[in-house]
Amino acid sequence: MSRAVVSPCLKPFDLTLEAIAPDKSISHRCAMFALLSDRPSSIRNFLTGEDTLASLSIAEQLGAEVVRRDGDVSLTPPAQLREPDDVLDCGNAGTGMRLYCGLLAGVEGSFVLTGDRYLRARPMKRVTAPLQEIGAKIDGREYGNLAPLHIRGGSLRAFRYESPIDSAQVKSALILAALRADGPSYYRENFLSRDHTERMLRGMGASIKTDAEGWIVIEPLEKPLEPLEITVPADPSSAFFFAVAAAIIPGARVRIPGVTLNPTRIEAFKILEQMGAAIDYELEEDLYEPIGTITVAYNGKLRAVEVSERIAWLIDELPALAVAMATAEGRSVVRNAAELRVKESDRIASVLAALHACGIETEEYPDGYAIKGGTFHPALIDSHGDHRIAMSFAVAGLLTGMEIEDIDCVATSFPNFFDLLSQVTEVKL
C-alpha cells in the first residue's frame, strides 16, 4: 500500500501557491452542465483529479466530444444524450454520482451508475427517494440506497420539496431534474448549502430564482443553455490544508491566488481566523463566482473554538481544522456535524482515530467531537481511503513528522498535493 513519510518542517516558509488544485465541485458541474447546451463549452483549469475526470468520461459516454489538454477542456455536447453501452463509473465521487442521478432521471434511456468500494457504501437514498417521488425510475441495492444504481430515464413531475438535509448534492440533483420536469419546481433547504449549481446554471441562462420565503424556483428548460466559458478557480478546500500549515508553523505565510471567495466555501478560513491566524481576503474578479487571493500567516499559538453553526459551509474542511484544533490552547468542540459520518469515510471516526494515534485527547459525539489541544507525536496514520484524512495528517506531520498509509486517494482531488508540500518540508513517497 502506498505511503508518505513527512518530515518536520524546520524553518518557516513564505510561499505563493499558484498550483492549488482547481475546484472539485465546480469542475464536476462543468463536465455535466456543458451537456445542457447545444454548443461547445470552453473550460480552463479543469481539475484533472480522478473524481472529476470520471465525470468527464461519463459525459463522453453520454455522447459528448471532449478534447482535453491538461486542464483545458473543450466539450461539444451531443444533440441528444446517448444511451451508453457500458456502466458509468463515478470512481470515488459522491458529487458525480448524486448529480448524475438528477441529470439522467429525466433523460430517455437506461443508465447504470457505479463507483469504487467506498462510494458503493455511501447513502444515495437522499437523492433517489425524492427523485422516485417525482416519477424517476431508479433502483439499486437496499431499494435504491446503494450503488450500482439503475436509472430508467423518463418523464418527471414538477415538485415542491423541502429537504431534510442541507446538502448541495441533493439540491443540485433536484435542480437538474427540475430542468426536465413538466412545470416550475420548488426546492427549499434549512440553511443555504454551497450554491455553485444555482450560480452556474443561472449564468448559462436557466431561470432559477429564490423567492421571499427561501424557495428556489426552477423553470423547466425551453431551449438549450448557453455554453460555459469558464476558468475554474482554485479549490478553497484544497487551499485550506496549506492555510492550516501556515497557521501552525511559527513564522510561516502562504498566499493563495485565484481561489473562489464564495461565502458558502470559505467559512473554515473564518474559523481559523477566529482561532487567531492572520487571514486576508482580496477580491479580484467576479465570474459566476467571486474570486481572489487569500493570505494566511502564523500569528501565535491558536486558541480553541466551538463550531456548531454554518456546518454545511465548512464540512469538507473539518478534518484539517481538527489538526489546527489539536494544536490550540484549550478544548475545541464541533457539533451538528453528523454528515461527517457519511463522507468518503466516517470522518468522525477516522479523524479521532488518527488524533488518538498522535497522542491527542478527544471525545466523540454522535454528531461531532471535542479535541483538547496538546502536542503531536509522530504516528502511522491510516487514511481509510479518504483523501482529506491523508492530507490533513500530512500537514500535522509538519509539526513532528508523520507516516501516512494508503495515500493513493489524494489523487481524487489534489494530485499535486505532495509536490506542493515538498516546497515546505521533506516528503518521501
Positions annotated as catalytic residues are 316
The answer to whether residue 193 forms part of the interface with ligand S3P (CB under 6 A) is yes
Which lies closer to ligand S3P via its Cβ, residue 391 or residue 399? 391
- The smaller minimum CB distance to ligand S3P, of residues 338 and 353, is found at 338
Name the minimum Å distance from CB 202 to ligand S3P: 16
Nearest distance from residue 14's CB to ligand S3P, in Å? Answer: 30
What's the grid cell of residue 286?
A: 467576479
Distance in angstroms (rounded) separating the CA atoms of residues 208 and 185: 10
Instruction: Return d(Cα 425, Cα 7) in angstroms, integer.
Output: 6
Under rule CB under 6 A, how many of the chain's residues touch ligand S3P? Answer: 11
168 binding ligand S3P? (CB under 6 A) = yes
Residue 194 near residue 171, CB atoms below 8 Å: no
Binding mask 33-72 for ligand S3P (x = CB under 6 A): ----------------------------------------
Binding map of ligand S3P across residues 305-324, x = CB under 6 A, - = no contact = ----------xx--------
Q: Between 89 and 166, whose beta carbon lies closer to ligand S3P?
A: 166
CA-atom Rg of the chain in angstroms:
21
CA torsion sign for 332, 399, 385, 270 is positive
Q: 110-137: string of b/e by CB count within 10 Å (b at 16+)?
A: ebebbbbebbbebebebbbebbbebbbe
Name the minimum Å distance from CB 260 to ligand S3P.
Answer: 12
3-state secondary structure 372-418: ECCCCCCCEEECCCCHHHHHHHHHHHHHHCEEEECCHHHHHCCCCHH
Min dist. Cβ of residue 146 to ligand S3P (A): 16
Residues 6+ apart with CB under 8 A from 201: 33, 36, 175, 179, 208, 225
Tell which one of 48, 128, 167, 185 touches ligand S3P (CB under 6 A).
Answer: 167
* Site track for ligand S3P across 386-425, x = CB under 6 A: ----------------------------------------
Ordered strands of the 137-140 beta sheet: 88-89, 109-114, 146-153, 137-140
C-alpha closest to that of 371 among 337, 336, 325, 329: 325
Nine cell digits for residue 76: 461539444
Closest CB to ligand S3P among residues 149, 398: 149
* All residues at 6 or more sequence positions from 9 whose CB lies less than 8 Å from its CB, including other chains: 245, 249, 252, 398, 399, 424, 425
Q: Does the protein bind ligand S3P through residue 25 (CB under 6 A)?
A: yes
260: contact with ligand S3P by CB under 6 A: no
Q: Does 92 participate in binding ligand S3P (rule CB under 6 A)?
A: no
Closest approach, Cβ 342 to ligand S3P, in A, equals: 8
**Residue of the chain from 169, 185, 262, 327 that contacts ligand S3P (CB under 6 A):** 169
Distance CA 371, CA 235 (A): 26
345 binds ligand S3P (CB under 6 A): no
Nearer of residues 57 and 193 to ligand S3P, judged by Cβ = 193
Which residues in this chain contact ligand S3P in the complex, by CB under 6 A? 25, 95, 167-169, 172, 193-194, 315-316, 339
